[in-house]
A and B are shown apart, each in its own frame.
Chain A
Amino acid sequence: MWDGILTGLGTAVMPFNLLMVVVGCFAGTFIGMLPGLGPISAVALMIPITYGLDPASGIILMAGVYYGAVFGGSTSSILVNAPGCASTVVTAFDGFPLAQKNQAGKALALAAYSSFTGGTIGALILLFAAPALASVSLSFQSGDYFALMLLGLTAVAAFSGKGQVIKALLMTVFGLMIATVGTDITSGATRFTFGSVDLIDGVSFLLLAMATFALTEVIMTVLRGQHREAEPEMDMAALGSMKLSREEVKEVAPTIGRSSVFGFLVGVLPGAGATIASFMAYGLERNLASAKEKLKFGKGSLRGLAAPESANNAASTGSFVPLLTLGIPGSGTTAIMLGALIAYGIQPGPRLFMDNPDVFWSVIISMYFGNLVLLILNLPLIPYISRLLAIPRPILIPLILFFSITGVYLVSFNTFDIQMMVLITVIAIFLKLLAFPMAPMLLGFILGGILEKNLARALTMSDGSFSFLWDRPLTLVITLIAVAVLLFPLLGTVLGKLRGKGPEAAVAEGEG
């Protein structure tokens, strides 16, 4: 193994490959920043370029573009509430409120540090444990994924503000309902398509996120502007300090550590991925927070920003485990990279790190460099990037609209998607005016589809019996954790009330 690592190191530090890391990171960051254009578009754009390169350089370039795009996606989430890609949707929940409080510089810097740490911790785990982790990712069956998604859904409380529990639950159910549109792979039947060819493939998560966040936000800004002209406009150019105080570092350090490891583990599972990792890390972090800190989530909590940012980068790194060691892509982006590897005549699998040690190890080592490059590239750029906010609104708003719509269109090249975006935006504006939170709907949507497919498979396997929930220890453990997370706050409230400490317990209950 050490020979392999040394070969990989030798390949990775070759000047040309280092250049590929820099080029990949730069291109990825830039594409990722554009709302809606995410890693999948960025990596797909690189395919023709990589044909001319040798395998290690080609994959290093693609990997650089991939995590560069995940890195860059957070910028537009924070600055304009228009997620750069699916896995940075959660970043906007606390990142954008921070930017609104004139702390854009701090938010961007924290996102960069979190991404860097997440990516680096991920690369280190990958370096030392990739082959061993492969077997972990294979031990997950449909029933386990179902239990894991249940656990994910318990995070819904994290996505609702105070006193919005019922509304948050309603929106989660709404998200679950939208997830059922399209072809049901278990039965082969189409559901809720109303005979339309365009709905057969269902609704894409990116489209839903762009419509409910980017477009809705922009249009709400316009609507507000008409009514409250007098309101002192936020000093958009004010970057705020980029520095984190010692207390703030102390506050987020454990968050970044936990979320990185957690995100990596979720990313290793072929059925989950970076977006789910970011949602779950956010939920986990809020569940761990004290009652007082919980109130800050969604209003510009540093922990709420650091958690998804570390998790999505660590998960992107983690998704290389099944790709490289098993040849199994966990996401659309890694599927494209698998195609590229095979086109080079390299078959990823358990023997990759023996057959092609230069490719295997150099890619992993280049990730370490890549994260460093991203940090060096991004920190000095923050003051310039955030000047984006200084652009006058009459110019900025059409720009956001343009990029959001183009970004979604360039994935499918289907104009129906644009019409659907407009429709969803109109619905979202109504819901938002009625103070319904959007985040729980996205949570319900992204988990709902996976939840249902895995439940259906697990039930098929057990011939319709729910016994799969306790037949395997792994499933049972995850289910019990989910139930515990769900019932624990409730139990606390009940006990508190029995002891006659009603008012305090109500604070500790945390809308659980």
Chain B
Amino acid sequence: MLSKLFTHRSTVLATALTTCLSAGVVQAQVDSVHFLIPGGAGGGWDSTARGTGEALQKSGLVDTVSYENLSGGGGGKAIAHLIEVADQSEDTLMVNSTPIVIRSLSKVFPQSFRDLTPVAATIGDFGAFVVKADSQYTSFNDLADAYLDNPRSVTVVGGSARGSMDHLVAAQAFKAAGGDPRMVKYLAYDAGGKAMAGLLSGEADVLSTGFSEALALADAGEVRILAMTGPERSKAAPDVPTLKELGYDATFVNWRGFFGAPGMADAKRDEFIAVLEKMYGTEDWARVRDRNGWAEDFRPGDEFVAFLEQQEKEVGELMRELGFLR
């Protein structure tokens, strides 16, 4: 078993070696991709990179795929590493998601997406508001009214720290309802599952979490989803209304996507984009996607950059209002 781990490391080395040797040679197609994962095994970033790699390799779009986990600093360690070894990293794709925007705003790490080459966002999830099956709140409007009446009467629970995603999504929604976002009574847990246990124990009224996670929980019958933050209803759950249609102007997408090293050549970036776009049509991708319950949300190249800038602006304003930024 251990030897397996070492093989994994030696693949990394071997890939690094080939990368060095082939540098300078013009490549007609993508021979190899090296995924840099800013977190440990088993997390969301890990499954995104390994799932994408699996689809790319099995469908024959890419010959060799290798992975490298490097956790630390909420992803900051991997960003710094990618910048440091940028010269030798032209085949490297780092997986990341919305937290890169939030954490760079809150100065968890000094870099931002601008220090990297955004390649493409590939999948997206939305925020969702979940209550216990026997909750007194039957619609998000009820919840918003209660919040407007007395913000401290609504307890929100989430699986991330105060000032990060789950908290911000809730603050954004209550702000759109006309409430004071700073008054949100938020109980922070360190994982979504534990936050769910908090909701079910009765200590909170509503859980702010990811939509796909919420769908899985609602299937079990213990909870109901009041609303989600997508621009329109999801095909996976057409019964769940969006905040927008309920009259609250708030949308939020938690994207996952890939970044290249700084200074990546445009041609190289376009190759990656082309290969990722091709991947969507393959059966191997469909299998990986369905296995993980992912929703496709493709934003390549400049569209991705524009989207990141927009999200940075929106989230930044909210965080400033909440007092997390000066």
Which residues of A line the B interface, CB within 8 A? 27, 30-31, 34, 37, 40-45, 47, 137-142, 183-188, 190, 196-198, 200-201, 270-271, 322, 326-330, 332, 335-336, 338-339, 342-343, 345, 347-352, 410-414, 416, 453, 456-457, 460-461, 463
Contact = CB atoms under 8 A, between A and B. Distances in A.
Given A142-B187, A142-B198, A190-B108, A327 B47 contact: no
A414 B197 contact: no
Given A197-B73, A339-B42, A416-B72, A141 B198 contact: yes
B217 A412 contact: no
B16 interface: no
Contact of B203 (A200, A342, A461): A461
Contacts of A351: 220-221
The 8 closest A-B pairs by CB, nearest first: A349-B220, A188-B163, A197-B73, A185-B161, A44-B41, A336-B42, A185-B188, A188-B162
B152 A201 contact: no
Nearest to B79: A197
Given A197-B72, A349-B222, A41 B197 contact: no
A498 to B, nearest CB: 44
A269 to B, nearest CB: 9
Given A44-B42, A197-B72, A137 B197 contact: yes
A47 B73 CA distance: 25
Contact of A457 (B76, B106, B187): B187
Nearest to A348: B220
A152 B204 CA distance: 25
A413 B71 contact: yes
Interface string B149-160: 000100100001
Interface of B: 1-2, 4-5, 40-42, 47, 68-74, 76-77, 80, 106, 108-109, 152, 155, 160-164, 167, 185-191, 193-194, 196-198, 200-204, 216-217, 219-222, 291-293, 324
A201 B70 CA distance: 13
Nearest to A338: B193
A130 to B, nearest CB: 15
Contacts of B189: 185, 453, 457
A414 B72 contact: yes
Given A41-B41, A47-B42, A412-B40, 7 more contacts: A31-B1, A47-B41, A326-B222, A413-B69, A413-B70, A416-B77, A457-B188
B161 A410 contact: no
B190 A185 contact: yes
A347 B198 CA distance: 19
Contact of A349 (B1, B70, B221): B221
Given A30-B1, A141-B203, A201-B72, A332 B220 contact: no
The residue among B69, B109, B193 with the most chain A CB atoms within 10 A of its own CB is B193
6 contacts: A185-B160, A185-B161, A186-B188, A326-B222, A412-B71, A414-B70
A40 B200 CA distance: 26
B222 A27 contact: no
B202 A347 contact: no
Contacts of B160: 185
B42 A332 contact: yes
A141 B106 CA distance: 30
Contacts of B221: 349-351
B168 to A, nearest CB: 10
Contacts of B162: 185-188
Contact of B42 (A201, A335, A348): A335
A343 B5 CA distance: 23
A342 B185 CA distance: 31
B219 A349 contact: yes
The residue among A37, A138, A328 with the most chain B CB atoms within 10 A of its own CB is A328
